[in-house]
Structure 1
Amino acid sequence: MLDIAFAKPALPESGALVLPLAEEDLGGGLVGEWDRLLGGSLARGLAAAEFKGRKGQVVTLFAPGGGLSRLVLVGLGKREALDAGGAEAAGGHAVAALGKEGIASIDARAIGGWAGAPADIALGAALRAWRFDRYRTKEKPEDKPRLTGVKVLCDDPPAAKGEWAARRAVADGVFLTRELVSEPANILNPPEFADRLRKLEKLGVEVEVFGQKDLEKLGFGAMLCVSQGSAQPPRMVVMRWNGTDQKKRDSKPIAFIGKGVTFDTGGISIKPAGGMEDMKWDMAGAGVVSGLMMALAGRRAKVDVVGLVGLVENMPSGTATRPGDVVTSYSGQTIEVINTDAEGRLVLADVLSYCKKRFDPAFMVNLATLTGAIIVALGNEHAGLFSNDDDLAKRIEEAGKSVGELAWRMPLGEAYDRQIRSDIADMKNVGGGRAGGSITAAQFLQRFVEGCPWAHLDIAGVAWGGKDQPTVPKGATAWGVRLLDRLVAEHHEGRQAQPAPAPAETEEAAVSGAGSASPAVLAEGTPGSEAPLPAPDLPARPAAEPAPAPRGTRRPATRRPRR
C-alpha cells in the first residue's frame, strides 16, 4: 500500500527526493534553494546530465549528498502548458523511477497555478504504484517494488490533504476496476463478481443481485441465450447510490450500464485459440461501472446514480445457443442470432431495456469491450463514442479530455440500421459483413433505449494496455472510471467533487482485496496515522422503490451512508 503524506518543504533525512521542474525553472530560485541544501550537487548534476526540463524527461542522480540515496529530476515541459494531467504524469514518472526506494519526497512547488496541484501529483503517484500481484508466489524480493510511501512537499499541507480526499476515493474506484479486470476467469465468474459487488454496501451503495431464475422470470431471453452454454450461472447486479436529499429529490437518476462477459470463447462461433486468454477482460465495461459506483460512494457524491451490470460466461456446449436461433428479449423484440460471438450486445439489450423501464433515467451510458472493429478504426488511443444526444456526447468528450481518457464520436444512421434487419425476426445481431462492424453494433443497442438520451462507449481498444503509461501500469487500465466521475462531478452535482473522509481501512481492504496498492492519506509528519477530516452533510437515503426484485434477495435497510 502506497502511503501518501503532505508536509512543509524540508530536506529529507534519508530516502529519495524528486524535483519536478519546468523548462523555465532551471535557473530559478527553487533550483538555487535545493542546490544550497545539497552542497552544489544539484547544479553539477543538471549540467552533467544535460537536463532541460522537457516534458517526460527523467534524470536520476545517485548519492547527491545530504543523506539522500538519490535525486530524481522530472521534466514538466513549458510552464504555460502545465495542467493537472501534467502534474499527475510527474507523480507517475517519479514512482516509475523510484521502484527500489522505500520512501520518497516530491517537491510540488514548481507545479503551481491551482490549489489541487500537490494532490494531483499524489494521484499520479498512487495510480502508477498499483500492481496486481495476488498470484505471484516466486518473485524475488529484489525484483519487487519497494516504494511504500510518498511525501508531497507543499506550502499548505492541510489544504492539499483536503484536495486529496476526493481524489483518493476515485483512485480506489480505479483500483477496484483494475483488480476485477485483471482476475483470471476461473476465479472471477459471474457469481463471484456479484458477491464482490455486495461489499459496496459498506460504502452506502444499495446492491441487488438477480440470479438465473429471477432473470428467467423477468424474460431476459437475449442475455440468457449467451449464458446457456456455460456451467456458470448468470447474474445481473443493480447498484444504487442515492446522494441527494430525499426531501428535495425531484430529478431522475442517471444510469451507467456495463457488459460483463467474464470469459468469451465466442460460443459455437468459437474464436481462434491465439490470444483467447485476453477474453478474461471482456467484462471490463462491468468493471468500470463497479469502480465508478465505488468512487461516487467513496467521495459522497451529491447525485442519484444507478449502475447495472450483466454478468455471463459465453461457452460452447451441447446447450449453447446456435447460429440461426431466434430469442425474445426483455423488451419483447425478437433477435436472430447469426453469430454467437456477437454476444455482448445481447447482454446489454436486456439490461438497457430493464434500466429504462424500471428507473426512467435522465440518460444512460453503457460501456463494453464490444467490437474488434473499433480497434481497427481508432487503435488504442480513443474509445468509440456513439450517441443519440449531441449534448451528452459533447459532455463525455470534454470530460475525457480533462482526465486523459479520450473518446471519438462515431456515426449512427438509418443506412447502418438497415444492415441488421432480419428475414425472420425483428433484427439480427450482426450486420451484413465486416464493414462498419462497430457502428452496426451500436445501432443494435440503440433499438433498446426507447428514446432515452444514451451513449455507448466501445472500450475494446482502451481497456487493456500493452505497455506502461505515466499513470497507468501495463495491464488493466480502468479507462472510463475517471471520465465518468468527472462527467458526474462537473455536470450533475452542480459543483466539483468535495473532500470526504475515506472509508475505514477494514472496509477498503474488504472491497479492494489483496493485490491493490490503495493509497492512504497521512497527517503531516506522522507516518502511519490518518487525521480525521470533517464529514460532509449527508442526505438520508430513501427506501428502495417497489420495482421488480429478485426472489429471496435482501434489500438493504434505509439508512444514512456510512461516514
Structure 2
Amino acid sequence: MSIKFVNTPSLEGMDAQITPVVGENPLCRISSVRALYTAVSRQELMDHKPGTVQGFVLAFEEGLKNIVFANLDCRHDHFKLVNTVAEAVRTAVEMHSQNIFVPVGTDFTDEEVSLICQGLMIGAYRFDLYKTEKSAKVRFTVYSERDYSAAVQNGKMLGECTNLARDLVNTPGSDMTPVVLAQKAAAQAELCGVKYEIFDEFEIEKMGMGSFLAVARGSVNPPRLIVLRYQGDPENDSTVALVGKGITFDTGGYDIKDDESMSTMKSDMGGAAAVIGAVLAIARAGIKANVTAVVAACENRVSGNAYLPGDVLRTMSGKTVEVINTDAEGRLTLIDAVTYAVQKENAFAVIDIATLTGGQVVSLGYRYAALISDSKVLTEMIQKASAACGEKVWQMPADELFLEPMKTSTIADYRHTGGKGGGTIAAGLLIREFAEGRHFAHLDIAGPAFLESEFPGWETGATGYGVRLLYQTLRLLAE
C-alpha cells in the first residue's frame, strides 16, 4: 500500500473517494460527490453517530465508482478517529476499490491528519503471505489546500511500523522462531540506521540469565537476546529501555494449555513486535532521545529438557525464583531482560510490554492495556501518549499488597506467581523488583495485541498494539 499527498485535486485514475464528514463543511469538492451528498442529504448522513461509515456505489461518474462517507465528528477521540478511517478503508476495499482519493479539510491539526493516515494504513492491511491469491494493493492520494505533507508522511511511517509488528506476530510460530525474529529485527534496524546486537544461547548463559534460559531449554530452537540501540541524543549518555516479551510460541510447558488457548499463541511475542516497531518508528522520525529495545526471544515448549513446576531458577540479578506454573513463563524471561537493560545498558527508565496474563483480558477486554507503575513521570507520559495515539490504557493499583504472596517461598527469594486474584498486578510488580529502583512501567497487552474476531477497522489477528503508544511516549519524554 502507499500514500501520497497532493495540493491539487484530481480524480484521474481514482476509483473511490473516502470523504470525511466534519461539522458543517463536508469535503465534497467533486461535482458528482456533491450531488450525491445533496441527494442523500446531510441530515441522513449526520443522523448516524460520530464514528460511523457509509458506502455508496456511484452510477454517474466515469472513473470514480465508489464513495465512502466517514463521520469524523469523533475526531477529538483519537481511538475512534483511527478506527473510523480504518473502517472506511475496509468498506472501500470491500467495494473493490484500489486507488482511493482522500480530501482533507484545512481545519484539521497535523496530529489529526497523521492519525487519519495511520487509519488508512491500518485499514488497508492484509496478511496474505500464505495465500496463493494475493490482496490487491491499495493506493491513497490525500489532498488538501493546506500543506499536510509532513503529517501524511508521519502517519504513513507509523502505519508501516504498526503493520510490520502485525506481520511479525501473524507469522506462524514454526516460521517465526527466535532466530528468525532476531534476523528480521536486525534487517529492519539496518534499514533505519539503528545499531543492533544479537546474543546467542552461549552468550546468554555467560551473562547468567538462568531464568530466561530455563524457559528456552524445552525447545530445539535456540533463544536469542535481541538488542536494538537508537541514539537520537548522543550528547546524553542515558537511555530508556523498551523491553518486550518475545515468546514466539507458547505451549504452556508442562502446565500445558488447552487446544483453544494454544491456537493463538503465536501472539505471545506481541510485546517484542511492539518494541521493535516502536524503536524503528522513533529512529525514522529522528526523535531526540536514546532508546534501547530488549527482547528475550524463545519458545516455551514441552520436552525431556523442559523446566518443571517446583524448579528454582537463579536470575541474572542473582535472586532466585521458585517456579509455580510453567505457563507463567513470560515474567521469567522479562525479569532477566529487565536486569540486562539496567545493568548492561544503564537504562534510567524501563517500560516493559507483554502479552502476560489472562487476567488482563478478564478485567479490561481487548481494547485497553493494563498499566502498572509507581513512577509518576512514566504514568503521566504513557497516559498522555495513549490519548494522543488512540491506544487505550487503564492504570491499575501498584499496591505492594499484591506482591506479598510472591515473597512467601520457603526455598527461594520469590514464588513466581501470587495468590488468587490480582494476578495481572502481581506479575507487573514482580518484574518491577528487577528494575533496581529505576523508573518503571509495565504494560499488559494480552487483550489488545491480538483480536480473535473482527473489530471496526481491524481484521482478526495481530494489531501491532504498542508501537504507536511507545513512539508517542518517547516523543513526549524527549520534549
Q: TM-score, normalised by structure 2?
A: 0.93
Question: Could you tell me which amino acid in structure 1 is paired with residue 66 of structure 2?
Answer: R
Q: Distance in 2 between matches of 1:427 and 1:38?
A: 65
Matched residue, 1:285: 271
Q: Alpha-carbon deviation of 1:436?
A: 1.4
Matched residue, 2:142: 152
Matched residue, 1:423: 410
- Aligned pairs for 1:311-460 within 5 A: 311-421=297-407, 422-432=409-419, 434-460=420-446
Question: Could you tell me which amino acid in structure 1 is paired with residue 119 of structure 2?
Answer: G
Q: Alpha-carbon deviation of 1:273?
A: 2.1
Matched residue, 1:191: 179
2:227 aligns with one of 225, 229, 238: 238
Structure 1 gaps, min length 5: 495-563
Q: Alpha-carbon deviation of 1:49?
A: 5.9
- Aligned pairs for 1:243-322 within 5 A: 243-244=232-233, 246=234, 249-322=235-308
Question: Could you tell me which amino acid in structure 2 is paired with residue 126 of structure 1?
Answer: M
- Aligned pairs for 1:24-39 within 5 A: 24-25=24-25, 31=28, 34=30, 36=31
Structure 1 residues 408-463: Cα deviation after superposition (integer angstroms, max 9, x where no partner):
1112333222201210111111113x311112212221221111110011111111
Comparing 46-55 with 342-351, which one deviates more in the overlay?
46-55
Question: Could you tell me which amino acid in structure 2 is paired with residue 96 of structure 1?
Answer: R
Question: Could you tell me which amino acid in structure 2 is paired with residue 124 of structure 1?
Answer: G
Q: Summarize the Cα distance change of 1:426–1:485 in structure 2 as closer, same or farther, 3 Å threshold.
A: same
Q: Summarize the Cα distance change of 1:7–1:52 in structure 2 as closer, same or farther, 3 Å threshold.
A: farther
Matched residue, 1:76: 72
Q: Distance in 2 between matches of 1:202 and 1:39?
A: 44
Matched residue, 1:6: 6
Q: Distance in 2 between matches of 1:343 and 1:38?
A: 55
Q: Distance in 1 between matches of 2:319 and 2:223?
A: 21
2:207 aligns with one of 204, 210, 218: 218
2:85 aligns with one of 84, 91, 107: 91
Q: Summarize the Cα distance change of 1:147–1:108 in structure 2 as closer, same or farther, 3 Å threshold.
A: farther
Q: Distance in 2 between matches of 1:417 and 1:13?
A: 61
Q: Identify the structure with bigger relative contact order (alpha carbons < 8 Å, sequence gap 6+).
A: 1
Q: Summarize the Cα distance change of 1:442–1:181 in structure 2 as closer, same or farther, 3 Å threshold.
A: same
- Is residue 16 of structure 2 the alignment partner of residue 16 of structure 1? yes
Question: Could you tell me which amino acid in structure 2 is paired with residue 213 of structure 1?
Answer: F
Matched residue, 1:61: 56
Contact kept? 1:4, 1:122, Cα under 8 Å: no
Q: Alpha-carbon deviation of 1:467?
A: 3.6
Matched residue, 2:117: 122
Q: Alpha-carbon deviation of 1:56?
A: 2.6
Number of aligned residue pairs: give it: 474
Q: Summarize the Cα distance change of 1:203–1:45 in structure 2 as closer, same or farther, 3 Å threshold.
A: same
Q: Secondary structure at the match of 2:68?
A: strand
Q: Distance in 1 between matches of 2:375 and 2:66?
A: 52
Q: Alpha-carbon deviation of 1:15?
A: 1.5
Q: Summarize the Cα distance change of 1:354–1:61 in structure 2 as closer, same or farther, 3 Å threshold.
A: closer
Q: Summarize the Cα distance change of 1:469–1:160 in structure 2 as closer, same or farther, 3 Å threshold.
A: farther
2:154 aligns with one of 160, 166, 170: 166
Contact kept? 2:254, 2:308, Cα under 8 Å: yes
Matched residue, 1:180: 168
- Is residue 90 of structure 2 the alignment partner of residue 104 of structure 1? no
Contact kept? 1:22, 1:53, Cα under 8 Å: no
Q: Alpha-carbon deviation of 1:145?
A: 5.0
Q: Summarize the Cα distance change of 1:396–1:452 in structure 2 as closer, same or farther, 3 Å threshold.
A: same
Q: Alpha-carbon deviation of 1:53?
A: 5.7
Q: Summarize the Cα distance change of 1:491–1:269 in structure 2 as closer, same or farther, 3 Å threshold.
A: same
Q: Summarize the Cα distance change of 1:91–1:454 in structure 2 as closer, same or farther, 3 Å threshold.
A: same
Structure 1 residues 169-197: Cα deviation after superposition (integer angstroms, max 9, x where no partner):
22222122111110100000111111111
Contact kept? 2:22, 2:72, Cα under 8 Å: yes
Q: Alpha-carbon deviation of 1:150?
A: 1.4
Structure 1 residues 174-228: Cα deviation after superposition (integer angstroms, max 9, x where no partner):
1221111101000001111111111112311111111111011111111111011
Q: Alpha-carbon deviation of 1:59?
A: 2.5
Q: Summarize the Cα distance change of 1:222–1:41 in structure 2 as closer, same or farther, 3 Å threshold.
A: closer
Question: Could you tell me which amino acid in structure 1 is paired with residue 118 of structure 2?
Answer: L
Structure 2 gaps, min length 5: none
Q: Distance in 2 between matches of 1:172 and 1:71?
A: 25
Q: Alpha-carbon deviation of 1:57?
A: 2.8
Q: What do you get for the CA RMSD once the two structures are aligned? A: 2.3
Q: Alpha-carbon deviation of 1:164?
A: 2.0
Q: Summarize the Cα distance change of 1:23–1:302 in structure 2 as closer, same or farther, 3 Å threshold.
A: closer
Q: Distance in 1 between matches of 2:301 and 2:165?
A: 24
Q: Secondary structure at the match of 2:347?
A: coil
Contact kept? 1:236, 1:308, Cα under 8 Å: yes
Q: Distance in 2 between matches of 1:117 and 1:379?
A: 26
Q: Alpha-carbon deviation of 1:404?
A: 1.2
Question: Could you tell me which amino acid in structure 1 is paired with residue 53 of structure 2?
Answer: V
Contact kept? 1:257, 1:351, Cα under 8 Å: yes
Contact kept? 2:127, 2:170, Cα under 8 Å: yes
Matched residue, 1:510: none
Q: Summarize the Cα distance change of 1:43–1:322 in structure 2 as closer, same or farther, 3 Å threshold.
A: same
1:479 aligns with one of 465, 471, 475: 465
Q: Alpha-carbon deviation of 1:127?
A: 1.6
Question: Could you tell me which amino acid in structure 2 is paired with residue 46 of structure 1?
Answer: S
1:465 aligns with one of 448, 451, 473: 451
Q: Summarize the Cα distance change of 1:16–1:360 in structure 2 as closer, same or farther, 3 Å threshold.
A: same
Q: Looking at CA atoms only, which structure, 1 or 2, has the larger radius of gyration?
A: 1
Contact kept? 1:21, 1:53, Cα under 8 Å: no
Q: Secondary structure at the match of 1:44?
A: helix
Q: Distance in 1 between matches of 2:268 and 2:80?
A: 31
Q: Summarize the Cα distance change of 1:217–1:116 in structure 2 as closer, same or farther, 3 Å threshold.
A: closer
Question: Could you tell me which amino acid in structure 1 is paired with residue 475 of structure 2?
Answer: A
Question: Could you tell me which amino acid in structure 2 is paired with residue 183 of structure 1?
Answer: T
Q: Alpha-carbon deviation of 1:87?
A: 4.8
Q: Distance in 1 between matches of 2:298 and 2:395?
A: 28
Q: Alpha-carbon deviation of 1:155?
A: 0.1
Q: Summarize the Cα distance change of 1:207–1:406 in structure 2 as closer, same or farther, 3 Å threshold.
A: same
Q: Alpha-carbon deviation of 1:341?
A: 1.1
Comparing 394-403 with 281-290, which one deviates more in the overlay?
394-403
Contact kept? 2:157, 2:281, Cα under 8 Å: yes
Question: Could you tell me which amino acid in structure 2 is paired with residue 446 of structure 1?
Answer: R
Q: Alpha-carbon deviation of 1:280?
A: 1.0
